[in-house]
Structures are given as C-alpha cells and as structure tokens.
Amino acid sequence: MRRVVPSGEARGPGDGNKRYRPMIMDFDTRANTLSTEIRDDWTPAIRDQWRKNIENIHQELSAEFGQRDFATKLQNFKDLGAKPFSVLAYHNKFLAQARSAFVMSAYYPALVGACTLGERILNHLVIKLRDDFKSSTHYKHIYKKSSFDKWPKMIDALADWNVLIPEAAADFVKLNARRNDCVHFRHDLDRDARAPALEAIQLLEAIIQRQFSAFGANSWFIPGTLGASFLRRDVETLPFIRLVFIPNSFLVSNRHQMHFTAGGLLVTDEVLESVEDLTDEQFAMGDI
C-alpha cells in the first residue's frame, strides 16, 4: 500500500528509515539552453530538437518581455545565467523581479533590488532565528529590533550561530559593498549601471546557491546520493534547517516515488508494517 506524503511532515517514532528530501524549489535554466553550442557532430535530429528548444524559449521571452529591443533583452537574459535551484523561501519572487528589471535594461532598479533583497534575507534570518540563540552575545543587541540596516552585525551573528556557511557570509560582505555604492551618490552609475547590477545579482544568486540550494555538497546533505539530495538525520533540529528546508521537503523512505502531475508534484511512499532505523550511510546505500 502507498500513501501520499505531504511536504514538511513531522517525523514520527516509526520513521527511522526515512529522510527529508527537499523538492519544493524554484529555478530557471533557460539561459543555459540559450548558451548551448549546437555542435556539427550531433545527429540532425538532435540539432533540430535543440534549435526548436531555443526558438521556443525566444518566443517565451518575447511574450514575457516584449519585442521592442528584443536583441538587448535576450543578451541580458543570457548574461544573467540560470536562476539557482533554491528551496521556496522569502527571496524567490523578489529575485525574479530583480532579474526581470535587468532583462528590461532597468539596470539601477535591478541593482538596488538585488542589494536590498540581500538585506531582507539577512533581516529575515535574524528575526526568525534569534530566539533560538538567546544565550548568544549578539542577542542583547537584536532581540527588540524589528529590522536592521547594519549588515556586518547581522552577518557576524548568523555566522557565529553557524547559520551562514563561510562562503555565503563572504559573499554577503561583497554584496554589502555593492549596496553602499548604489545607495550613496556616485557619478559613475549615471554612465553605467549595467555592470554593477549584473555583479550584484550574481553575488546574490551565489549566496542563494550556497545557502538555499535544494542540491549540492553542503554539509547538511547526506553524501553519496547521486541524482537526489537528502538531509542528514542529525541536522533536522538545527534552527535554519527547520525554518527553511524541512517545510520544503518530503519525509520519505527509499521506496518513495515522485509524480509530476498537472496539479504539481505528488510524492507517494510505501507503507511498511515494520522497519528498522537506518543510519545515513545505510539510507544512502538504498537499504530499507
């Protein structure tokens, strides 16, 4: 017998053979398709299929952004690159808006949007997680505030709480410099806001890719599960994992199945009468 698995389901006493699989995510890889070189040594059928795929994306982008100055819009879209595979959190829709502004050559709004979204992410993490770190030396400085504009304090707190991974913290420091540059008056932005906007968006997306990705080599994933990512059992109680990843995950055994339906993703799993707890290594090996 199989059952439908809801996202974010709480772990029960008989679920020791299961792990959380992040699957509710946002991404856009169309820029990768547009940048793919169609090779002469491919078969004619494959070359024709790739040309058709690219033409379909051109039509999608034309409908989304308009035909006027489409060549520039198309180049902007390609230069942005793929939008990262990110679990659904509090940045996805605003990142999409910053990217859209860049495609439309609204470079300064794209720049400001990317920088302020970085600040919003830091604020959200600090506000949502601070009560889990009341014994921290940072807590007395932040427990009453409803918002923060001092990036170094937020970055230091989240890094000390082991919420931000070091690479993401370093990228936030770089993005803060871009934020200061765009907020305070600078003549050079009048001449060229495109390059700073592209840099800011790519820095922000590097942060999202490192910190919020549903895939990858982050320490909270079980190693050795090719083609899929599962959370380690011992990280499930970490405040950041509880806040961001578990609501976007499905608690499943090795016998789960995914069904992509018209209504979205449907996850089912086999109901077993008696199971033993598995270590992460056993789960990765496919043991039941």
For the stretch 220-247, pLDDT in tens is 999 988 889 999 999 999 999 999 999 9
Residue 153: exposure state from Cβ atoms within 10 A (0-12, 13-18, ≥19): middle
Mean pLDDT rounded to a whole number for the chain: 92
Tell the residue number behind the tokens 């910190």, with chain if given: 211
Structural domain boundaries in the chain: 2-23+218-284, 30-77, 82-212
pLDDT in the model for residue 283:
93
- Cα four-point dihedral sign 278, 274, 260, 211: negative
User: For residue 43, how far is the Cα from the chain centroid?
Assistant: 35
Task: Kindly indicate the confidence band of residue 69, based on its pLDDT and cuts at 50, 70 and 90.
Answer: very high
pLDDT tens by residue, 135-171: 999 988 887 787 788 899 999 999 999 999 999 999 9
pLDDT in the model for residue 185:
63
Q: Tokens at residue 229, please?
A: 């990512």
Q: Tokens at residue 268, please?
A: 């089912």
Nearest-angstrom CA–CA distance, 168 and 197:
19
Report the share of the chain in percent with pLDDT over 90: 80
In this predicted structure, the answer to whether residue 267 has a pLDDT above a threshold of 70 is yes
CATH number, domain 82-212: 1.20.120
pLDDT in the model for residue 288:
58
> Do strands 257-261 and 264-270 pair parallel, antiparallel, or not at all (unpaired)?
antiparallel
pLDDT in the model for residue 121:
96
